[in-house]
Amino acid sequence: MRAALHRVSRDERVASARARLSSWFAHASYTQKWLVLGSTIGLISGAGAVVFYRCLLWANQYLLVDLGGYRPPTPFNEGLRVASSHFSRPWAIPLVVGGGALFGALLVSWFAPDASGHGTDAAIAAVHHNPRGIRLRTVAVKIVASALTIGSGGSGGREGPTGQISAGFGSFLARLLDLSPSDARVAVASGVGSGIGAIFGAPLGGALLAAEIMYRDDFEVEALLPSFIASVVGYGIFGSWQGFGPLFGYVGGYHLTNAAQLGWFGLLGVLAGLVGLAYSSTFYGLEGVMARLPLPSWVRVSLAGVAVGLLGLLVPETLGTGYGWIQQAFTASVLSLPLWIVLLLPFVRILATTLSIGSGGSGGIFGPGMVIGAFVGAGLWRLVDGHFAGVPSSPAPFVIVGMMACFGSIARAPLSMMLMVAEMTGTLTMAVPGMMAVGIATLVVRRGDHTIYRSQLHTREESPAHRMLTGLPLLTGMNVAQAFAPPRCVIAESLSTKEAEDVMDRAGVHFAPVLDDEGRYAGTIERERLTDKSGVVKDLVVNTVVPLSRVTPLNVALESITATPLSWSPVIDDERRVIGTISISDVVRAYRFEISDRVHRARSLDGSGGFLDAVVSTNSPLVGTALSDAHLPSGVLLIALEREGRNRAPSGDTVFAGGDRLFAVGDPEELDILRSRCLG
């Protein structure tokens, strides 16, 4: 009995703390909100990167090194170890790679099917369509499954798992704190950028990636500043554990001496763009073929892993992340590799990555893209070195620019990729050659509108949130108080499923808000979930629906409603008590009434009307008064209000403040009355 009372008391404290936090974030300024949220997301992204990195190291050591008898090379910031000179147990390599893929696939199949594939695409889709929908279980499974897949020798990158870890935590924060859809999108996007930036030691490029990777031809500018905060904090956490040096060390020493040298980088851009197209088309083409095979997913993934292991016996450079091979490509030691290996490696790596990840395995495709681009540059250098003028004496410039151009173009993220590679190699001297190659490669890819991330939208106009804002402009000046209705039905979480069924049937509803023992909003329940279930409602509550307040703008409300399978959202007060519900039909009805009212008022003005542009003084009687209570002259129509440099569409709840600039049309005499009231 005492334990039950203690548990109830603890639950009440947690619910009360959550209500206070949610209220604080709802009313906090932009700076306060994102300093806290950005720092929190950064802490988790840095810690998540450390956890995944350690898991990957352990898996690699125990699986590929100890069991498989092969040690892949490592880059500068990871010890700069060279690869094993031979396979001590070649028969074990296909078994190890296939076994790692098998166990990773079983974890995914049993616990989180949405953790399969490369996580970055799933995070991009979440930003656009359901930022509250990434489950923490998916994050945990992604860490282990990706470590097994890549650590055993599968061809994959570590950016997908780390990006999904921090994106998942951003999604969790959105649910926990009832963040608005726009804030939830930014939280998930900044999680993607900070996680990738942390594990690659490239915080600036990671922050820019969060804004650039969401679209093929646009930026999510709202995510940029929060991503700066999250990326710096995440890099600080990961760097404190792993070190702050560039991943590949400081690779420099090249300087342009004449403009003719840019021609070689232009040629490299063309080749990188074409190979990027081959990467995308091969990956998704073979992925579709493998998905149609009449085999269970875990069988398909494990067989693909065995194939990668066999491929690795022929070309060891295809095993694992491949970052150590990039390190070797920076120096003349790339000459020790047979020319056919250097030339074929980009295509062999494309095939290996498609088998490892496209089959349904877990890992990223960003890292392999860098390896592919690096060896496109190394291959071109091997072909032209010593035969033509203007070719650099070291392969490093071609390798660096190849990394930038190949994946930067096919990911439709040229700027962030240039910055990330510059940070990973500790040099900015390749900026101009990089611009040449990346620009040309992007033009090659853009011609056919290709991308490696299928969840990217073309522009912000295609985003559901931005499209709604531009299509229904009056919604920004209206709020939930003008549209919501009393709740038709609320369910106590302590009710049995049978009792809840009866209550919902009598009310004739399919969904209802659920209240905890203190009468606070706890989530929602679906009528169908109660059928043939025993127990209490509390066990079936979901919290993916965003609760709204009376002052929430209607554009935010409509976005919240359409981002979930439901057609409504609960309306709560500052204590999280349900005061009503708002549906799509409620929003449409309020919008039509607002349009009708404005048209009616505009028609009442005759052709002799005038125009008013006046600033409300601090002594004006309008200050502190809501528009609905201001009793403006009947012959005046207030059309806009400018505050702190931003135009706002006034609504009945708009409260006038000193310094507001009003724009109105109407009868000249009544406009003079309004002008006098503005001046006080």
**Backbone phi and psi for residue 3, each to the nearest 5 degrees, phi listed first:** -65, -40
At 50-102, the pLDDT tens digits run 999 999 999 999 999 999 999 999 998 888 888 888 888 999 999 999 999 99
For residues 232-248, give the mean pLDDT: 91
Q: Are 662 and 616 in contact (CB under 8 A)?
A: yes
Please identify, in words, the CATH class of the domain defined by 472-589. alpha beta
Q: Please give the pLDDT value at position 556.
A: 78
Q: Please give the pLDDT value at position 343.
A: 93
pLDDT reading at 4 higher than 60:
no
At 177-215, the pLDDT tens digits run 888 778 888 999 999 999 999 999 999 999 999 999 999
% pLDDT > 70, the chain: 92
Range name among 351-365, 406-420, 576-590 with the lowest pLDDT average: 576-590
Helix axes 181-199, 224-242, angle to 10 degrees: 30
pLDDT reading at 48 higher than 80:
yes
Strand partners, 542: 524
Q: Please give the pLDDT value at position 601.
A: 61
Residue 582 token pair: 């708002």
% pLDDT > 90, the chain: 34
Residue 135 token pair: 């489950």
Q: Are strands 511-515 and 491-492 parallel, antiparallel or unpaired?
A: parallel
pLDDT reading at 499 higher than 90:
no
Q: Are 432 and 397 in contact (CB under 8 A)?
A: no
Q: Please give the pLDDT value at position 349.
A: 95
3-state secondary structure of 282: helix
Please identify, in words, the CATH class of the domain defined by 604-679. alpha beta
Range name among 462-476, 538-552, 578-592 with the lowest pLDDT average: 462-476
Split at pLDDT 50, 70, 90, the class of 5 is very low
At 263-308, the pLDDT tens digits run 999 999 999 999 999 999 999 999 889 988 888 888 999 999 999 9
pLDDT reading at 20 higher than 60:
yes
pLDDT reading at 319 higher than 70:
yes
Ranges of each domain in the chain = 10-247+259-460, 472-589, 604-679
Strand partners, 277: none
The model's pTM is 0.78
In whole angstroms, what is the distance from residue 370 CA to residue 354 CA?
A: 15
Q: Please give the pLDDT value at position 585.
A: 80
Distance, first Cα to last Cα, the chain: 66
Most confident of 20-34, 423-437, 589-603: 423-437
Q: Are 477 and 454 in contact (CB under 8 A)?
A: no
Average pLDDT over all residues of the chain: 85
What is the dihedral angle through the alpha carbons of 366, 370, 372, 374, rounded to the nearest 10 degrees? 180
In whole angstroms, what is the distance from residue 134 CA to residue 16 CA?
A: 25
Cα 566 to Cα 68, 481, 525, distances in angstroms = 51, 20, 11
Q: What is the largest CA-CA distance in the chain?
A: 96
Is CATH 1.10.3080.10 the right assignment for the domain spanning 10-247+259-460?
Answer: yes
3-state secondary structure of 583: strand
Q: Please give the pLDDT value at position 574.
A: 80
Q: Please give the pLDDT value at position 420.
A: 93
pLDDT reading at 2 higher than 60:
no
